[in-house]
């Protein structure tokens, strides 16, 4: 089943000569069928993708289970591991705690990339923040779990763990009322570790209804997508014929139909209502 997702984009930016010109990254979405997976470490929210695992309140039992697992994983180091465990060295040697979670943190934040979408195409704040104060657009993509635009082939239908080479996780962002569990000993080896570090944001962001595609250990890069996944362009309520004609030009030769819509302010409530007004037909 295909689901609709939305990417809010500006149509203009200030060029090198200080002149307003078409935004090159937005233009590349249409002319190159290209989207960009960004580095999560660069996000401006000081909590989003900046959370850290810790062992601050770990119990002795949790440390012991941790070293038991290391003994199984590294049998040639079992003698040393048993000494650390029997002496409860984590109580006296802070270096043991300092190294915990560092590799996971690097793998998720430093070496990976994310593409963010919204499940809502008529968001007043999103048009304001990301689409140039309603002069820009909201681009609708429709895809199924087998069509995620991530740069990797889907994989074996019978084995979900191998989809997209096992490198891609996609899901809705969560907005819990409480801070997520970040104790390494309690989340490692479970889906909570990625959910907490990559798919959890403060509840004040819940209006975004965000959907994320996370590429594990794949650095930031541009990715080409199948053009038939782009199904609609919603123009902000302040845009006009100039903006519509520019996007139509970018869609020249598009191989599938693209519906053009306009966000209009309602007269009886705070709402943007989407009205279709044209369709760019496939060539």
Choose the weakest-confidence range: 30-39, 78-87, 256-265. 78-87
Please give the pLDDT value at position 97.
85
Please report which confidence band the pLDDT of residue 42 belongs to, taking 50, 70 and 90 as the band edges: confident
46: left (phi over 0), alpha (psi -120 to 50) or beta: alpha
Q: What is the value of pTM for the model shown?
A: 0.90
Least confident among 116-125, 134-143, 148-157: 148-157
Instruction: Identify the weakest region by mean pLDDT among 102-106, 124-128, 142-146, 184-188.
Output: 102-106
Q: State the Cα–Cα distance between residues 233 and 121, nearest whole angstrom.
A: 10
In this structure, how many other beta carbons lie within 10 angstroms of the beta carbon of residue 26? Answer: 23
Residue 16: predicted pLDDT: 83
Does the pLDDT value for residue 94 go beyond 90?
no
Residue 91 pLDDT greater than 70, yes or no: yes
Question: Is pLDDT above 80 for 99?
Answer: no
Q: What is the pLDDT of residue 8?
A: 98
Rounded Cα–Cα distance for residues 212 and 231 (Å): 19
In angstroms, the CA 138 to CA 245 distance is 16
DSSP codes joined into one string, 155-200? --TT-GGGGGGGTEEEEEPB--SSPPP-BHHHHTTSTHHHHHHHSB
pLDDT, one tens digit per residue, over 202-240 is 999 999 999 999 999 999 999 999 999 999 999 999 999
| Residues in contact with 156: Cβ distance below 8 Å, sequence separation at least 6, in sequence order | 162, 163
- Confidence tier at 110 by pLDDT (50, 70, 90): confident
pLDDT at 225: 97
Nearest residue to 217 (alpha-carbon basis) of 77, 113, 74, 82:
113
Tokens 């199904």 -> residue: 231
DSSP state of 42: G
pLDDT given for residue 103 in this prediction = 67
DSSP helix/strand/coil, 47: coil
pLDDT at 151 over 90: yes
Whether 111 has a pLDDT exceeding 90, the answer reads: no
Average pLDDT over the chain, rounded to an integer: 93
pLDDT of residue 52: 86
Q: Taking the alpha carbons of 189, 171, 226, 27 in that order, is the dihedral positive or negative?
A: negative
Number of Cβ within a 10 Å radius of residue 82: 13
Mean pLDDT confidence for 85-101 = 86
- Measure CA of the first residue to CA of the last residue in the chain; give whole Å: 26
Rounded to whole angstroms, the Cα distance separating 40 from 92 reads: 34
């Amino acid at each position: 089943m295909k689901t609709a997702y939305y990417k809010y984009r500006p149509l203009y930016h200030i060029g090198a000569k200080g002149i307003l010109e078409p935004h090159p990254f937005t233009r590349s979405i249409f002319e190159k069928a290209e989207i960009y997976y960004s580095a999560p470490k660069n996000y401006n929210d000081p909590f989003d993708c900046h959370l850290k695992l810790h062992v601050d309140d770990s119990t002795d039992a949790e440390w012991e289970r941790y070293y038991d697992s290391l003994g199984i994983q590294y049998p040639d180091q079992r003698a040393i591991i048993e000494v650390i465990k029997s002496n409860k060295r984590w109580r006296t040697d802070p270096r043991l705690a300092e190294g915990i979670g560092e590799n996971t943190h690097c793998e998720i934040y430093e070496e990976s990339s994310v593409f963010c979408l919204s499940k809502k195409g008529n968001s007043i704040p999103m048009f304001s923040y990301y689409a140039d104060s309603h002069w820009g657009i909201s681009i609708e993509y429709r895809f199924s779990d087998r069509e995620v635009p991530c740069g990797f082939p889907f994989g074996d239908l019978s084995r979900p763990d191998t989809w997209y080479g096992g490198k891609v996780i996609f899901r809705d962002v969560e907005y819990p009322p409480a801070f997520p569990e970040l104790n390494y000993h309690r989340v490692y080896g479970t889906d909570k570790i990625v959910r907490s570090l990559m798919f959890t944001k403060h509840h004040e962001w819940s209006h975004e209804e965000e959907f994320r595609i996370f590429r594990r250990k794949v650095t930031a890069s541009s990715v080409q997508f199948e053009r038939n996944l782009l199904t609609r362009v919603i123009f902000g309520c302040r845009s006009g014929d100039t903006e519509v004609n520019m996007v139509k030009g970018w869609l020249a030769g598009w191989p599938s139909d693209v519906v053009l819509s306009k966000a209009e302010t309602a007269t009886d409530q705070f709402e943007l209502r989407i009205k279709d007004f044209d369709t760019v037909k496939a060539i």
